[in-house]
């Protein structure tokens, strides 16, 4: 896998994952919407850890500045 996510993109995803987890575990969001947010948060966290988003090549996006 070739990196396609920049530092800012990764940081935003980690923050969103933390917000989604907080909303779910604090009970603010529950039910189906809570599970969906938790799933998105998990995907955001995993993709930021590996610096690769599988949708970016399909959309022609690359936020990583490495060559």
Task: List, as one string, the DSSP characters of 9-30.
Answer: HHHHHHHHHHHHHHHHHTTSS-
Radius of gyration of the chain (CA): 13
Position 65 confidence tier, pLDDT thresholds 50, 70, 90: confident
pLDDT at 51 over 70: yes
What is the structure's pLDDT at 19? 97
Q: Where are the domains of the chain?
A: 1-38+50-67
pLDDT at 31 over 90: yes
What's the chain's length in residues?
67
CA end-to-end span of the chain: 14
What is the structure's pLDDT at 60? 92
Higher pLDDT among residues 58 and 1, named by residue = 58
pLDDT at 27 over 90: yes
Cβ-based neighbour number of residue 14 at 10 Å: 15
């Amino acid at each position: 896998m070739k990196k396609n996510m920049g530092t800012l993109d990764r940081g935003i995803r980690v923050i969103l994952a933390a917000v989604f987890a907080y909303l779910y575990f604090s009970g603010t969001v529950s039910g189906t919407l809570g599970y969906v947010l938790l799933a998105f948060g998990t995907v955001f966290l995993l993709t930021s850890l590996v610096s690769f988003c599988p949708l970016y090549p399909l959309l022609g996006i690359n936020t990583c500045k490495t060559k």
